[in-house]
Amino acid sequence: MSASVQTTPELLGEPPVTPALGAEPRDWLLLLKPRVISLVVFTGAVGLVIAPGHINPVLGAVAIFCIALGAGAAGALNMWYDRDIDALMKRTLARPIPAGKIEAGGALGYGIVLSVISVLLLAMATNLVAAGVLAFSIFYYAVIYTMWLKRRTPQNIVIGGGAGAFPAVIGAAAVTGHITALPMLLFAIVFFWTPPHFWSLSLFASTDYEKAGIPMLPVVKGARHTRLNVLVYSLLLLPLAVSPWPLGLTGPVYGVTALISSLVFVYYCWGVYADKQDAKGVSLTKDKPARAAFKYSILYLFILFLACAVDRLV
Amino acid sequence: MNVDDRMPHTGLGQTNWTDEQRAEFLRRRRARNLLLLGALAGFCLIIYAVAIVKLHEYGQMW
């Protein structure tokens, strides 16, 4: 083939695609970001449990399935749009599109079809409020976060954090048909939890983000500024996480668990702030405190939601 | 009409494939088709289950 008529993906600015043997079914499932889905299923299920009222178990299971499917669809749309920068980062290089296993157009169609199916199915199984919030959450993640904020501002994950906060609201709305106070507080908790969670990660993965040109806080403002922000957000999160208890929305089981686990989170974030560092704030300990804070942040959110569900059940 | 005419983008016509590569291609395609079949069957079952439950509990679908 002559160079003049060559239209390889590389020349079109697309990641390389090798259609040779075709994708494995597993690759299509990986496009849905199964790790994220597992967290979404959990928070969505907690939303169902904490909602006042009753839902048929079959419809409840379908609601959780729809939340998971919608989150997966948003993940596929995210991978479609971010295929260029995914190919530049070690952490995302093996994703199905940059790895050349799935073509970009196929991933886009897949994401759109699954989005539509998840919203329609949820509307049919539960109600329009839950389906509407699910549709908005997909739009929020795929368009507001991925296409608009992610590459433009270091505050990307502060605002984008809302995307991961929707499942509990959707789960509760599936039961009640409207949006109540406790799920909104859980939304706020996830919203304020996301910045210290992601900024801890970005502290030890900042070279990857820098290479891809993503304006994460450590890349734009430096590590020292990021460390301070991690600590500040953890301090803001502390009273917010405990607030459902004094507001009478949960009992002491949740309140005490939230207080202790939040104090532990502040301790980890203090470790990030006080890490041994050079003049620019770059860690001299290979970011051990940031890695520990990142790991604990996942456990912390799990503990909060589990405590909320247990508190409702006991 | 030969196989290549009917399936122009499958790559089956690539003569430089080894038998193992051809077998692997067919295996992957069959696996994808089975996954799609399972997904469609599951979707039908979900619609059916939702319809049964909603009609039983509420007497209407919407």
Instruction: Using an 8 Å CB-CB cutoff, list chain A residues near B9.
Output: 19
The answer to whether A120 contacts chain B (CB < 8 Å) is: no
Count of CB atoms within 10 A of residue B14's CB? 12
Question: Which residues from A are below 8 Å from B28, CB to CB?
Answer: 21-24
Angle at A259 between CA A253 and CA A260, to 5 degrees: 95
Query: Is the per-residue pLDDT at A68 higher than 90?
Result: yes
- Give the Cα separation of A206 and A283 in Å (integer): 12
Tokens 């759109």 correspond to A112
pLDDT value at residue A70 = 97
Question: Are A290 and A233 contacting, i.e. CB atoms less than 8 angstroms apart?
Answer: no
- Tell me: pLDDT of A2 over 70: no
Cross-chain CB nearest to A21 (options B21, B46, B49): B21
Nearest-Cα residue of chain B relative to residue A110: B36
Most confident of A111-115, A222-226, A276-280: A111-115
Q: How far B51 CA sits from the closest chain A CA (Å)?
A: 8
Give tens-digit pLDDT for A118-152.
Answer: 999 999 999 999 999 999 999 999 999 999 999 99
Domain ranges of chain A: 25-152+162-176, 180-309
The partner residue sitting opposite A24, judged by closest CB among B31, B49, B50, is: B31
Rounded to the nearest angstrom, the minimum Cα separation between B34 and chain A is 9
Chain B nearest-CA distance from A215, in A, is: 38
Give the pTM: 0.85
pLDDT of residue A207: 81
Q: Inform me whether the C-beta atom of residue A20 falls under 8 Å from chain B C-beta atoms.
A: yes
pLDDT in tens, A177-193: 999 999 999 999 999 99
Split at pLDDT 50, 70, 90, the class of B61 is: confident
CB A223 within 8 A of CB A280: yes
Alpha-carbon distance of B1 to B6, in angstroms, equals 7
Any CB–CB contact under 8 A between A130 and chain B? Answer: no
Give the gap in angstroms from C-alpha A79 to the nearest C-alpha of chain B.
20
B19 shares contact with chain A (CB less than 8 Å): no
**When comparing pLDDT for A16 and B50, which is higher?**
B50
Task: Tell me the average pLDDT across A187-204.
Answer: 92
A25/B34 touch (CB, cutoff 8 Å), yes or no: yes
Mean pLDDT (whole number) for B22-30: 88
pLDDT band for A205, please (50, 70, 90 cuts): confident
pLDDT band at A219 (very low <50, low <70, confident <90, very high): confident
A244 three-state secondary structure = coil
The pLDDT, as a whole number, for residue B30 is 92
**Letter string b/e over residues A155-183, b meaning 16 or more CB atoms within 10 A of that residue's CB:** ebbbbbbbbbbbbbbbbbbbbbeeebebb
pLDDT of B1 reads 47
Residues found in chain B: 62
Q: Closest partner residue to A21 among B25, B35, B46, by Cβ?
A: B25
Find the mean pLDDT for residues A45-56. Answer: 92
3-state secondary structure of A178: coil
Of B29, B50, B62, the CB nearest to A22: B29
A18 touching B (Cβ < 8 Å): no
Please tell me the total number of residues recorded for chain A in this structure: 314
Distance CA A13, CA A108 (A): 17
Q: Is pLDDT at A164 greater than 60 in this prediction?
A: yes
Closest-CA residue of A relative to B25 is A21
For residue B53, the chain A residues in CB contact (below 8 A) are 56, 58-59
Which of A17, A18, A24 would you mutate first to test chain B, the one with the most B CBs within 10 A? A24
What ipTM does this complex have? Answer: 0.76
| CATH fold group of domain A25-152+162-176 | Tetracycline Repressor; domain 2 (1.10.357)
Q: Give the three-class secondary structure for A9.
A: coil
- Based on the number of CB atoms within 10 Å of its own CB, is B34 exposed (0-12), middle (13-18) or buried (19 or more)? exposed
